[in-house]
Structure 1
Amino acid sequence: MLKAITQDLWHVQHAFKIAGMPVSSRMTVVRLSDRSLWLHSPVPLSHEVRAQVDELGPVRYVIAPNKLHHLFAGPCLAAYPKAVLFGAPGLSSKRPDLRNMRELGGSAEPEWETDLDQVFFAGIPFGNETIWFHKPSRTLIVTDLCQWWQGDLSFGARAYAALTGVRTRLAVPRTIRLAVKDRQAARASAQRILDWPFVRVITAHNAIVEHDAHRAVEAAFSIFLRD
């Protein structure tokens, strides 16, 4: 079910399997100042979750924040045909079936710039992820760039999280680190994100960090910032 995080901010997690390994992904829902909804990294919507979303306001924007989190964008748009889909640079080539998708840029769109700021994290073309800052709640919204696989996991998931360095703390997974093609660009993007005064981090996999969140991201981004 949809769960509140703070004012005008909700989330729902979806459990599924990749190559037989149980994992989860999170959709974040932001209610903007005009009372419309912004859905980040959509997941399948049950009748119950959709009813909860509909009670919050009209869905106006659906976000596929990187080239990996797009599987449920189509069904989400089918449920909300009046919404506009925004996708990661390069996603249109990967998903030509997602028609009329607008490409995310390096700065906030006019439609949501009052509530959200954004940074395109450059230098990792494998993902081409955009990171978000929800200004009213001072919340950072991340998809795959930073992860922390908390909780009671299967043996395979625990092993994978430990191998990639995201089992015991917030970190940039080793799989992402290996995909960096331009360290200078990644460093500049990381610094722009750290300039935001966030106090909370929402990740897609799977933690919500409420304590010392900025310091946790600083530690995770140290791999980009060191010489």
Structure 2
Amino acid sequence: MQLEPLDTHLWHATHAFKANGLPITTRMTVVRLPGHKLLIHSPIPMPPGSALLRQVQDLGSVTYIVAPNKMHHLFLAPCAAAFPGAAVYGPQGLAQKRPGLAATLRTLPAGDLPEWLPDLEHFAFEGIPAGNESVWFHRPSATLIVTDLLQWMAGDLPWPTRVYAALTGARSQLAVPLTVRALVRDRAAAARSAERLLRWPFARVVVAHNCIIDTDARAQVARALAVF
């Protein structure tokens, strides 16, 4: 694992593991804010002494660590331990799901934090309370950052993952997978959030699971979110 640049102040790294027996990858995104303050979005393992940890440390000071939904918390505690001075944020409900984190976990607000503006904006995508996912826009690089809301599992993958991706609709194109659509409890609220997301002038999409989209990104996102 190593960091790869996406833009001047934006990097990513992926981690392969098994979730409920399914081989998948997940992506960490690192944003450098003014003052060389770093925000880690959806952390992955960074063992002590690892090259990945050193790369992150060389970029600046890790000031914020974010679990962007209630599913992407597996590596939150070790990341917080590696950067004890960082403020750790998670969505509403994560503290109840992970009581061991409750003492240090701050609830991610539904809207923007002044500390991250104007470079980084976010809001809570409504209507899917099981995930309580927030979506993010890095304005300097025109990059949309999502976690599970949008997925595209392309390329050479283990056969169980290929089958899973095909069954959920995320194998051949960017999509809101069936696993997420099944969790929608307020379609009107989700539609409002989709409309709000599409107001951002993004030209690239970074998703947690597999693809990065930098061609016709807006059109692909609009098509995927039309399910709402």
TM norm structure 2? 0.97
Distance (whole Å) between structure 2 residues aligned to residue 179 and residue 20 of structure 1: 21
**Residues 109-144 of structure 1, C-alpha deviations (whole Å, 9 max, x = no match):** 111022111121011011000000001001000000
3-state SS of paired residue (2:13): strand
Cα deviation for residue 18 of structure 1 reads: 2.0
Give the match for residue 38 of structure 1. 39
Quick one: which amino acid aligns to residue 124 of structure 2? F
Alignment counterpart, residue 120 of structure 1, candidates 105, 118, 124: 124
Equivalent residue runs for 1:70-149 within 5 Å: 70-98=73-101, 99-149=103-153
In terms of mean alpha carbon deviation, does 13-22 or 168-177 score higher?
A: 13-22
Cα deviation for residue 201 of structure 1 reads: 0.2
Contact 1:33 1:114 in 2 (8 A): no
3-state SS of paired residue (1:108): coil
Q: Provide the aligned C-alpha RMSD in A.
A: 0.8
3-state SS of paired residue (1:172): coil
For structure 2, the 5+ residue unaligned runs are none
Off by >6 Å, runs of 4+ in structure 1: none
Give the match for residue 17 of structure 2. 16
Cα deviation for residue 21 of structure 1 reads: 2.1
Distance (whole Å) between structure 2 residues aligned to residue 14 and residue 20 of structure 1: 15
User: Quick one: percent identity of the two aligned structures?
Assistant: 52
Give the match for residue 155 of structure 2. 151
Cα deviation for residue 178 of structure 1 reads: 0.8
**Residues 7-51 of structure 1, C-alpha deviations (whole Å, 9 max, x = no match):** 100000000012332100000000001211000000001410000
**Residues 42-94 of structure 1, C-alpha deviations (whole Å, 9 max, x = no match):** 00014100000011001000000000000111000100000000101111111
Give the match for residue 201 of structure 2. 197
TM norm structure 1? 0.97
Give the match for residue 50 of structure 1. 53
Contact 1:26 1:205 in 2 (8 A): yes
